[in-house]
């Protein structure tokens, strides 16, 4: 059993981004710029945005966070996004989810310019991913694919089972695996007999936000297990969706929580923003 160290890989990618950023500044005078929209005072969202800000600073990016009150109007957020779309110093726009109930999230995600959509949530980029074309890909599943690359895990022809069908993780994860020629199955809340499906997985990827959903008897010997879930247990400890202590001995590779997929999400956000800046520098 080998533990996939997302923290070390994330740091490696971050250093590479910082180096390319310095090169971009020298050659073109352009500094990659990331703008974040943060609505309300959700502690998890605030902590996550704070981590993104620190990562931007380390990489040499310009970053700005638009903090808005919980009761903000749809129109006010739309005006801010339009302003960022028009700002030539901003290469990437990120809307921190979830948003308050009065806000139409879909409308906002569609308003972000596709060439600044570093989260990969715009239908334009979703469509390009689904058809195997270049575009911005959601950071978490993209980070998982980078892990496979780093650890020389070839997914071609493997049975990959994705548990969770969200637009942010599950669906783009399935699309990336399919594009890499894995045989892909997607399970979700209405899947009958989840164990029957997970036992067939050479690669099992789980991201639903349920503590210990995946037990030892649901994983076949030698499987690769990628735990994308992040939950806070009653003890205050951060845990994933996999019963790590009991499942890990059966696996060939497994990601821990924390220190697995999490750091890769931010690393890929930096990579996507740098890519956007490089494209914009060429167009200037």
The per-residue pLDDT for range 15-47, each reduced to its tens digit, is: 999 999 999 999 999 999 999 999 998 888 888
**Three-state secondary structure call for residue 79:** helix
Looking at the DSSP assignment, which residues form a beta bridge with residue 38? 67
Looking at the DSSP assignment, which residues form a beta bridge with residue 44? none
Quick one: which of 87, 84, 136 has its CA closest to 114?
Answer: 136
Q: Any idea what DSSP says for residue 150?
A: H
Are the C-beta atoms of residues 228 and 241 closer than 8 Å to each other?
yes
**Three-state secondary structure call for residue 34:** strand
Cα dihedral 29→32→37→38 (10° resolution): -120
Residue range 104-116: mean pLDDT, rounded: 97
Looking at the DSSP assignment, which residues form a beta bridge with residue 159? 183
Residue range 167-173: mean pLDDT, rounded: 97
pLDDT of residue 8: 98
Looking at the DSSP assignment, which residues form a beta bridge with residue 204? 161, 225
CA–CA distances in Å: residue 64 to residues 7, 90, 206, 273 = 25, 9, 32, 13
Q: What pLDDT, in 10s, does the model give residues 178-225?
A: 999 999 999 999 999 999 999 999 999 999 999 999 999 999 999 999
Ordered structural domains, the chain, with CATH: 29-120 (3.40.50.10860), 139-262 (3.40.50.720)
Dist. CA 158–CA 155, nearest whole Å: 5
For the annotated catalytic residues, the residue numbers are 52, 96, 119
Q: Locate all alpha helices (DSSP H) within the chain, ordered by sequence.
A: 6-28, 43-59, 74-86, 105-111, 123-130, 139-150, 170-179, 194-198, 244-247, 261-283
**Using CB atoms within 10 A of its CB, is residue 81 exposed (0-12), middle (13-18) or buried (19+)?**
buried
pLDDT of residue 173: 98
Q: What pLDDT, in 10s, does the model give residues 45-90?
A: 888 899 999 999 999 999 999 999 999 999 999 999 999 999 999 9
Omega before residue 258 within 30° of 0, cis:
yes
pLDDT of residue 129: 98
Task: Answer whether residue 135 shows pLDDT above 90.
Answer: yes
């Amino acid at each position: 059993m080998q533990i996939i160290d997302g923290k070390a890989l994330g740091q490696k990618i971050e250093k590479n981004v910082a180096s390319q950023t310095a090169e971009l500044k020298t050659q073109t005078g352009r500094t990659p710029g990331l703008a974040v929209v943060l609505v309300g005072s959700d502690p998890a969202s605030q902590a996550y945005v704070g981590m993104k800000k620190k990562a931007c600073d380390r990489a040499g990016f310009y970053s700005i966070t638009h903090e808005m009150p919980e009761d903000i109007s749809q129109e006010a957020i739309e005006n801010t996004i339009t302003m960022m779309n028009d700002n030539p110093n901003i290469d990437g726009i990120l809307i921190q989810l979830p948003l308050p109930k009065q806000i139409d999230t879909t409308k906002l995600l569609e308003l972000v310019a596709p060439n600044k959509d570093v989260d990969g949530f715009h239908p334009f980029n979703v469509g390009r991913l689904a058809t195997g074309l270049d575009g911005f890909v959601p950071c978490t599943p993209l980070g998982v694919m980078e892990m496979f690359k780093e650890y020389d895990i070839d997914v071609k022809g493997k049975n990959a089972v994705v548990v969770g069908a969200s637009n942010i993780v599950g669906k783009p994860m399935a699309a990336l695996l399919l594009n890499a020629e894995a045989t892909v199955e997607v399970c979700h809340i209405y899947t009958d007999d989840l164990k029957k499906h997970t036992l067939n997985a050479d690669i099992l990827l789980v991201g639903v936000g349920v503590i210990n959903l995946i037990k030892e008897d649901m994983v076949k010997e030698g499987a690769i297990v990628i735990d994308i879930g992040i939950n806070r247990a009653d003890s205050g400890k951060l845990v994933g969706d996999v019963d790590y202590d009991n499942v890990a001995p059966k696996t060939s590779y497994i990601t821990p929580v924390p220190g697995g997929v999490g750091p890769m999400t931010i690393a890929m956000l930096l990579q996507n923003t740098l890519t956007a800046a490089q494209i914009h520098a060429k167009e200037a």
